[in-house]
Structure 1
Amino acid sequence: MHDTGTDRDICDRSVVFSRCRGKKYSVGASDTEIKIGHTTAYSGPVSAFGAGGRTLVAYFKMVNEAGGINGRRVNVISLDDAYSPPKTVEQTRKLVEDQEVLLIYGVSGTPTNSATQRYLNGKGVPQILIATGASKFNNPKDFPWTMPFWPSNGLEQKIYVDYILKIKPEAKIAVLYANDDYGKDHLDGIKAALGANPGSKASIVAELSYETSDPTIDSQIVNLKASGADVFICASTGKFAAQAIRKAHEIGWSPLKFLTNASSSVSAVLKPAGLENSVGVMTAAFLKAPNDPVWANDKDVKDYVEFMKKWNSQDNPNDFYATVAYVNAAMLRHVLESSGDDLTRDNVMKQVANIHDVRLPLHLPHVVLKTTPQDFNAFRSLQLQRFDGEKWTDVD
């Protein structure tokens, strides 16, 4: 029964913005529920991302069993976008217009997020904690509803270039990159880092791209070897990173190799490439590796492994995409908890624009998270690591 002419009437009609007994809601939130929209590649060339989607859904099942967020059930609606931008647009429209979610969260990939950025900003729907480090997503002035949650590609490539200049001052660098926003942004990051050292004799001697629909990148690896490069930076998604490592080994090319951290999963990338073939590969990390003996007694790691056993036994706890999703889900939980009873889209963006010294489970100890309304890049540092045949180990 409704109280005619009161705010209760407004709440029951589920209008876009409601005031219910002093509580504030945008569409997708209520006294009992928070609806979260998410897409990732459960199929297609980077279906390994699916481990992240399953972990995200499982995380909030755990949260809901424990009472939800401030008494509200979190309903995560996760759809398959196959890492195809047109499919991402289709699924995102479905989430926003049909499912009426409060926000879009944690979508993997630069091209997929690029495809929906203008649409979501035009409708004032938060596009937050997205899994891409492309510089274009940290633009609060022009795209105030978009917030990345991945170390920037520029920061990552600067770490690689700084290390290269230290140990190979005259390095000849070969780059393989995806012919999309993701790969091009990494390539730009390499060039910017080299450009910041004008006296250096290191240079890019070859750069070749691939299409996500390509079956292999074997010919690119053969041609990159022919360039005479002694350093190889692979700015690709996981499937092609595995192919690159394997093919380089097959043709006897042994440059110093770097993989972007998005393709550093031991189980999804290095194992298919051949663990023995991957020895010496480097990356820039921000997470504790659950199978690293140094973290054997770490409470965060123990809690995570137990979570995976109970809530997502389908996926390997050591899968990088599962680990990332678990950590990023913890960040979303923090944002929703911080929003309190003001579950409006405006307040959600206020929370993600004011992250200060938040410590997330499984982040390496030195990782600092900080955002401001003028700078949405949360990550300020990374840890250079090398693969020893079994696990990633820190490099000083």
Structure 2
Amino acid sequence: MALAKISLQNFRNHAASELDETAHFNLLVGENGAGKTNVLEAISLLSPGRGLRRANLADFAQKEAADAPQSAFAIGASLIEQGQTSARIGTYTQIERPTRRLVRINGADAKSSSLSEWHAVAWLTPSMDGLFTDSAGARRRFVDRMALAIEPGHARSVNQMETALRERNRLLEERGDARWLDAIEAQAAQHGSMVAQARATLVARLSDELSALPAEPFARPILTYRPGGPVTPEELLAEFARNRPRDRAAGRALTGPHRDELEVVMAQKDRAPGPLAASCSTGEQKAMLIAITLGHGVLASSGRPSVLLLDEVAAHLDPVRRTALFDRLRAGKAQIWMTGTELAPFADIQEEAAIWRVSDGALERL
């Protein structure tokens, strides 16, 4: 088990909600718009980044009226390892600083990136169903989120790479000092190489995990990491220097890890590569996305507490696939949080799950 004593204060439609006595399986049941996904979003914010909706801070805190001043929110939870509380973590804003997200760990101020050092959080939401037909940038963010759950320092590398590339773009546009450009490109190459290698390692490990899964009842995806340029820092630095005129004209770097792509195809019954995931049916795409999520869950749950958030996942699966999903989740180490509009799809796990009914931002333990 990973999280217990979860509290939400003034978050979305939850004025003051608490979830205690959590279990391996945790179910949030209620009508659409009741606030189920808001609970998952709050849990997702106990990790670095903008959460499962990628929302702005201003969207989280409740307001008494549309023209009221910005208010503040708070989310907290206890981390449980082997039945003992290992840490109390939280994230919040302050009324006087509503646009700055703050983090505390064991009562001390901390950086949001440090949250990933304590536990791993991953999620699957309906909005991700279009991942394979979405932009390459969306798939890069997907890979980075998975990599972060395994390598806590990955977010820092991504941020430093993106910062250096933005500064390089500015210097190229303004024809800034060549020595400063050299230094910025060295930073972009160093951090970019770390990002590319972390992504490649993640995809390789995940591919190994997926290869061990049976093809049924979920489709087996075959993953390929396509780097957007050289991977070593030396080659990447040379590429940046060589392409300054081209990149100045384009207004951005045209090669580098910020152009990486994740290619996904569906394996055939003989395990040979089949069609691109983008051209598969909606059901096949959903099955492959679930398979990737399950495989990643195995990797993320080795060595530290981990949490897997599954929003409305059971309602879109037939009984055979639901049973298979629950069996795999039951065998894993990650703590599971799921949402649904009714209990019927969760009949196989009701006896072992902690269940809350959600209604207008209020929780009732069942």
TM-score (norm 1): 0.26
Going by fraction, where is strand more abundant, 1 or 2? 2
